[in-house]
Amino acid sequence: MGEEKEKYSKAGCLSVETFSSNRTVAAFGGEKREIAKYKRALTEGLELAKSRIYLQSVGIGFSYFTLFACQGLAFWYGGKLIYAQEATPGSVITVIIICKTFLTQKR
């Protein structure tokens, strides 16, 4: 994330530099060149952000998949235990809530 901030900081510096000397830029006809430099700096930061966000979304998706798969397994197996009269519905729900609490804790 530091590299991404660095790219956006560079784009910000370019814009401040251009606006502070806008008469000089306009006098030499450098508007298009400055716009291109600014777009290039923003694009670099955007590409870094896209890759970071992609990795985060895959991680979050996997976490939610694990959570719901474990809950589904607990409901299925709990149902089997209740049907075989080896467990009570209260104990099965308690285990499911404990598992959900454990899986949703921030580490």
Full-model pTM? 0.59
71-103 burial string, b = 16+ CB within 10 Å, else e?
Answer: eeebeeebeebeeeeebeeeebeeebeeeeeee
Residue 98 is predicted with a pLDDT of: 86
Instruction: Please list the pLDDT of the chain residue by residue as tens digits (107 residues).
Output: 677 777 777 777 777 777 677 666 666 777 788 778 878 877 888 888 888 899 999 999 998 898 889 889 988 999 999 999 999 999 889 988 887 887 777 65
Taking the CB of residue 45, how many other CB atoms lie within 10 A of it? 18
Residue 25 is predicted with a pLDDT of: 66
